[in-house]
Structure 1
């Protein structure tokens, strides 16, 4: 009867512990994402369309096959993307490992020990007994998460996975943006070098005409010298452009993670790239959720909230249930066949009574870091609004400047046609005609710079919105 009562008591204790674990609470704050009101940015409704959604692969908005191929071939081939991907994988494995605490832990132990046991009081060596004992036991243990420490730890691990996902997205988004804008820079440099060479040939012809007039005594040497200075300035500009072109090619190689012996070449011209006639503009609550920096800041805020719960739960008791069963024998070879079973059931409760204020200080530190993360999140949101507004303003200014340069170039080309007709009719001399051609070349360079600025800021616009579609890694 006593044995049955004892077993009934143990079952009752076990039932109470399981019941407590099922209805246990997780101390600390339950995370709630901050709410943000929708903000409508001042925009040009003819250019920015709120109802318009970004293309599935936004870089295809430029309608250039070479850019598409560049992104799809090397968009995931950068080592930084690989590092970010491995960091994410490590976080996912850490989360997977952290979930193991919610399951019973089973361990198998075997040991062999030689022991010295005295049958008589110390000093009577005649009764000394030395023997060897071998044991084989299986132990099952389970930590009761009564106050939610393990749940908060796993909540933090989940938030870390979300952080690394956002960081990987940010790395890849930035990489693709840099690749496109670097390719545009290379194309612009190559186009400008061609225009400079054409303009240089014109200036050389002007210099030759001035030299002939000087040799004939018709003009002073000042005109010849001025023409030579223009050629020299153009040569200096060309040398600087060639240097910058080499730097841009080196950068594109690095972005594509290519070794020095392999080169990426850009064959397209800026004239081949189409500017999207309209650009998408989501409401703020939509694009804020897409931006990697805001996603990462929100995940870090969630992680800080979970850490508050972990620090608070550390101030409460930890309870672990364990049970073991096995066999013991003085002969290891007869261990499995022996009739000497051993078993045990235990409950372990640990509670810090005095810690010198460490636990309380850790809790306050976690709260402070949570408040810091909240401020960081708000600042990240403000910076995002600033970036979107800045790029929007730049795009508006770029489109106006490009339109002005287009109109100016058209007027100058019309002027060239008139001067050319007058030149053939003898109304203007060759120097006037060539000077007009040189001015047109400079205007073409100005138009080229306006076009590439508009294209690059268009790329930055998609980055500012946090466009989320990438080639598969």
Structure 2
């Protein structure tokens, strides 16, 4: 009854930004040139929900298996789970201060009294035992709501830890998808490089045959050997990057590098999602875990302002010390041995060099800081979505141009090879055609991989699809079971 009020501001969630979209103009789905090579089309679906297992949209069984393995074994997620338990137990511990604090004390003692204490001429020493059993009871009524605000702050930190788990889960799954796409890109670049190396070796064989027949100069053979060596030189760095990428995926899966994952990835095994959900701005704010974590941090800072205000007001303490003292344990709690003390106190700081005042101002400044960090988190979220949308709008045309360039370069190289057999082309044209085709083939692989990665970036920017009713104790099973149920 004494805890009748709680000083300080009462927190309310900030309203959603008053914006209708992510770009100044009306959102247009990615387009491509109708006259160019055919590429997979994508379209934005405004207001659609994000699937929980959003990576399943790439229709890659190895990717699905690897993400499940990663979610089950990655230590960063286990650390995030532990932080939730820690924050929750701290909040529960703070709730204990709503109740009286009771302690028990039992003190047996044996005393020998000096004869000097018995007076002159008395040489007898007195020895006796004393047994004291006592309860220590104290209670601090939460008159100004200081403990209420402390519990509110710790509950908000628990909520923040839950959103940080969601953010870690989302970032981890996105990192796995991006790393798998990068592995597939490296395999594609290696395949393209090996393909051009084979072509250059065939051309070198033709030139050597012509040189032996006196139809080609030695300088042409040497130039072709140099071009072949340069192409072969680009292969080891790509193979090194692929090995490093495999180590990254193995580490993300929570395994040691010696226990390499079994899943391998090629670009042909990924399917580009055709329909891309784009959440409404109000849904984005409620769905992005980093934004929700920033809101929970602001809630905690708001409650701490109330704690600082309450610390400047009078505090009240009620204490009681009932117990019993006897010379023998059997006499404890018999009539005449009982005692008690009941006391109440009120304390008010009169002068502390403005310490508590400045602590309150610091708490208010921390709330202003948390508010600004929340607004920055919202702005960053909108920027991430806008960047992903812009990238996807350009990616379709980039892939189309890369395919067109590769086809033209390959056709040119085929013609040059035929002319070389007939002795109708010089070596400069051969070298140029080889280099152009190599660059075009690599660029095409990179463009396809970039489009896949930007699609994953859109799902990441929109906050994934975390189910709202997942219990913290079994969120893994909930995430995957919810996904299967939604697909069914």
Query: What CA distance in whole angstroms lies between the structure 2 residues aligned with 1:114 and 1:351?
Result: 42
1:395-406 correspondence runs (5 A): 395-406=392-403
Residue pair 2:413, 2:437 contacting (<8 A) in 1 also: no
Query: What CA distance in whole angstroms lies between the structure 2 residues aligned with 1:172 and 1:56?
Result: 11
Q: Give the 3 Å change call, closer, same or farther, for CA 182–84 of structure 1 in structure 2.
A: same
1:233 matched to 2:235: no
Residue 204 of structure 1, CA deviation: 0.4
Q: What TM-score do you get using the length of structure 1 for normalisation? A: 0.85
1:64 matched to 2:60: yes
1:29 matched to 2:9: yes
Question: What is aligned with 1:11?
Answer: none
Alignment equivalent of 2:277, drawn from 257, 275, 280: 280
Residue pair 1:62, 1:274 contacting (<8 A) in 2 also: yes
Aligned length: 450
Q: SS in structure 2 opposite 1:75?
A: helix
Query: Could you list the per-position Cα deviations for residues 243-296 of structure 1 after superposition, in whole angstroms to 9, with x for gaps in the alignment?
Result: 111111111121112113200144332012111112111111211222222122
Deviates more, 1:401-410 or 1:152-161: 401-410
Query: What CA distance in whole angstroms lies between the structure 1 residues aligned with 2:246 and 2:223?
Result: 35
Alignment equivalent of 1:44, drawn from 11, 14, 28: 28
Residue 304 of structure 1, CA deviation: 1.2
Residue 369 of structure 1, CA deviation: 1.4
Question: What is aligned with 2:39?
Answer: none
Residue pair 1:183, 1:266 contacting (<8 A) in 2 also: no
Question: What is aligned with 2:145?
Answer: 148
Query: What CA distance in whole angstroms lies between the structure 1 residues aligned with 2:344 and 2:452?
Result: 69
Alignment equivalent of 1:79, drawn from 60, 75, 88: 75
Q: Which runs of 5+ in 2 are unaligned?
A: 31-42, 468-474, 478-488
Query: What CA distance in whole angstroms lies between the structure 1 residues aligned with 2:71 and 2:222?
Result: 51
Q: Give the 3 Å change call, closer, same or farther, for CA 378–218 of structure 1 in structure 2.
A: same
1:381-392 correspondence runs (5 A): 381-392=378-389
Residue 410 of structure 1, CA deviation: 5.6
1:179-194 correspondence runs (5 A): 179-194=176-191
Q: SS in structure 2 opposite 1:192?
A: helix
Query: What CA distance in whole angstroms lies between the structure 2 residues aligned with 1:390 and 1:25?
Result: 47
Residue 60 of structure 1, CA deviation: 0.3
Q: Give the 3 Å change call, closer, same or farther, for CA 92–436 of structure 1 in structure 2.
A: same
Q: SS in structure 2 opposite 1:348?
A: strand
Q: Give the 3 Å change call, closer, same or farther, for CA 220–410 of structure 1 in structure 2.
A: closer
Alignment equivalent of 1:169, drawn from 147, 151, 166: 166
Residue 178 of structure 1, CA deviation: 1.1
Query: Could you list the per-position Cα deviations for residues 139-188 of structure 1 after superposition, in whole angstroms to 9, with x for gaps in the alignment?
Result: 44322101011011111101111221122222221111111111111122
Q: SS in structure 2 opposite 1:472?
A: helix
Residue pair 1:328, 1:338 contacting (<8 A) in 2 also: no
Query: What CA distance in whole angstroms lies between the structure 1 residues aligned with 2:44 and 2:460?
Result: 15
Q: What TM-score do you get using the length of structure 2 for normalisation? A: 0.82
Q: Give the 3 Å change call, closer, same or farther, for CA 140–244 of structure 1 in structure 2.
A: same
1:267 matched to 2:271: no
Query: What CA distance in whole angstroms lies between the structure 2 residues aligned with 1:357 and 1:135?
Result: 44
Deviates more, 1:367-376 or 1:264-273: 264-273
Alignment equivalent of 1:197, drawn from 180, 191, 194: 194
Query: Could you list the per-position Cα deviations for residues 89-113 of structure 1 after superposition, in whole angstroms to 9, with x for gaps in the alignment?
Result: 1111111111111123332222234
Residue 401 of structure 1, CA deviation: 0.9
Question: What is aligned with 1:214?
Answer: 211
Query: Could you list the per-position Cα deviations for residues 418-469 of structure 1 after superposition, in whole angstroms to 9, with x for gaps in the alignment?
Result: 969x89x98989x999998986665443322111111111111111111143
Residue pair 2:200, 2:434 contacting (<8 A) in 1 also: no
Query: What CA distance in whole angstroms lies between the structure 1 residues aligned with 2:156 and 2:126?
Result: 59
Residue pair 1:327, 1:338 contacting (<8 A) in 2 also: no
Alignment equivalent of 2:96, drawn from 90, 93, 100: 100
Q: SS in structure 1 opposite 2:323?
A: strand
User: Cα RMSD (Å) of the superposition?
Assistant: 3.4
Question: What is aligned with 2:35?
Answer: none
1:52-451 correspondence runs (5 A): 52-113=48-109, 132-337=129-334, 339-409=336-406, 415=411, 443-451=440-448
Question: What is aligned with 2:2?
Answer: 20
Query: What CA distance in whole angstroms lies between the structure 1 residues aligned with 2:241 and 2:121?
Result: 93
